[in-house]
Amino acid sequence: MTAPAVPGAVFGTIGALAAFPLRLAAREVERQHGHIRRGVTRRTTHVVFGRTLLAKAGLTKAGDGEIERRLGAERAAGRILLSENGFLRLLGLMKAPEASSLSRQSLIDQSRLSGADLDRLSLFDAFEHDGEPYSFRDLILARKYVGLIAGGASWGAIARSVHRSGPVASLTAKSLNVGSQHGRPDAIYLEDGQSELDGQLLFDLGAAAQGDDTLEDLFAEAEAAEEGGDHDGAAALYQRCLAIDPSDAIAAFNRANCLRGSGRVAEAAHDYARAIKLDPAFVEAWFNLAGLMSEQGRDASARRHLQKAIALDKTYADPVFNLARLEFDAGNLPEARRLWVRYLELDAESQWAGVAAKGVQFVDMQLAKSAG
């Protein structure tokens, strides 16, 4: 089978892949002239949601709500969202299912499954297809999932369950029931007469899969520590990630952010520089290093880094604003005005847009006084 080309695509992963080692997928992405990184940056074009997220979500207070938040954020950013199977099919590493013809809307109309639940379940490979066109087997599954949801199951419980039973398509011939009648509202039971106990075979929703201390697990643990405000703990975990994979620019960048949050400025600058060395086009690293330089009063360095960030990503508004502020403080009013005008072209709505507009007005007044 000839693999489809993905030249120039930048894949970001959220959560570890459950069905395929990331290093093997990364090798194929690079062969096809694409790029893949853990986490998401401004350059990310495709986001792959690993199924291990489901197991972890089942054990946290935030639960599936955090996954829903991430889905919404990445979709709003205009990125292409991929399931594990969708990612592997795109690379040509997994055979596509048989031809199908059901559109997304047709499946919704015929099954009565909500569009939101369809999209979430598709993203975690709870159907034969990861997107439209769907198959008749997908329609059967959708109708079964509607029944489970009506019985009190969440989309997350369904997605966690279906992968415990072999190929998803095999569920079309089986009866599924929510386990609330068995005292397990978080469980879904498979009733097909195969089990030895009352004809019930529990899909093991149990706990998260127990595995080795993999790089993906470490990275996810580091991200959780960072989000929880444990900067020192997160920095130590990111350092372990870098010990395993010294080429991970995002781990270096994230560690720099944590070190900065802990006040370890020199170490943070080192890791920002390390991230840039690993990925010279890492625009966020240039921007954050500029901020660090500015905080230390090293305006010339900050200016150079901001100019580099702007050159790399002409739609990135933040470095434009910060450079305008630097130029204003340096007394270069015409350049500050030019940059604030550019910022307003990129962002006319935020509170910073109001500051930029006032900056333009102030400079105009000063220049008018000088001319008078």
How far is Cα 363 from Cα 343, in angstroms, rounded to an integer?
A: 15
pLDDT at 347: 93
pLDDT at 202: 38
Cβ-contact 305, 289 below 8 angstroms: yes
pLDDT at 308: 97
Cβ-contact 356, 320 below 8 angstroms: no
> Which ranges of 124-280 does DSSP label H, i.e. alpha helix?
136-150, 155-162, 215-227, 231-244, 249-261, 265-278
How far is Cα 282 from Cα 43, in angstroms, rounded to an integer?
A: 8
- The model's pLDDT over 57-99, given as tens digits with 9 standing for 90+, comes to 766 656 788 899 999 999 999 999 999 999 999 988 888 887 7
- The model's pLDDT over 257-301, given as tens digits with 9 standing for 90+, comes to 999 999 999 999 999 999 999 999 999 999 999 999 999 999 999
pLDDT at 165: 65
In terms of pLDDT, which residue wins out, 30 or 203? 30
pLDDT at 184: 53
Q: Which residues of 350-364 are buried (b: 16+ CB within 10 A; e: fewer)?
A: eebbeebeebbeebe
How far is Cα 276 from Cα 76, in angstroms, rounded to an integer?
A: 27
pLDDT at 55: 79
pLDDT at residue 324 tops 80: yes
Instruction: Place 190 in a pLDDT band, splitting at 50, 70 and 90.
Output: low
H-run or E-run covering 176: strand 175-178
To 5 degrees, how large is the angle CA 21–CA 214–CA 131?
Answer: 40
User: What is the arithmetic mean of pLDDT over 348-363?
Assistant: 93
Q: Which residues of 256-294 are buried (b: 16+ CB within 10 A; e: fewer)?
A: bbbbbbbebeebbbebbebbbebbeebbbbbbbbbbbbb
Among residues 340, 372, 343, which one has the least CA distance to residue 359? Answer: 340
Mean pLDDT of the chain: 85
pLDDT at 189: 60
The amino acid present at 232, given as its one-letter code, is D
pLDDT at 297: 94
pLDDT at residue 38 tops 60: yes
Instruction: Place 24 in a pLDDT band, splitting at 50, 70 and 90.
Output: confident
**Burial (CB count within 10 angstroms: exposed 0-12, middle 13-18, buried 19+), residue 154:** middle
DSSP string, 218-263: HHHHHHHHHHTT-HHHHHHHHHHHHHH-TT-HHHHHHHHHHHHHTT
Distances in whole angstroms, Cα of residue 190 to Cα of each of 6, 37, 129, 184: 40, 38, 22, 13
pLDDT at 255: 97
SS3 128: coil
pLDDT at 344: 96
pLDDT at 60: 62
CA terminus-to-terminus distance, the chain? 74
How far is Cα 289 from Cα 307, in angstroms, rounded to an integer?
A: 12
Domains of the chain: 10-91 (3.40.50.10190), 104-202 (no CATH)
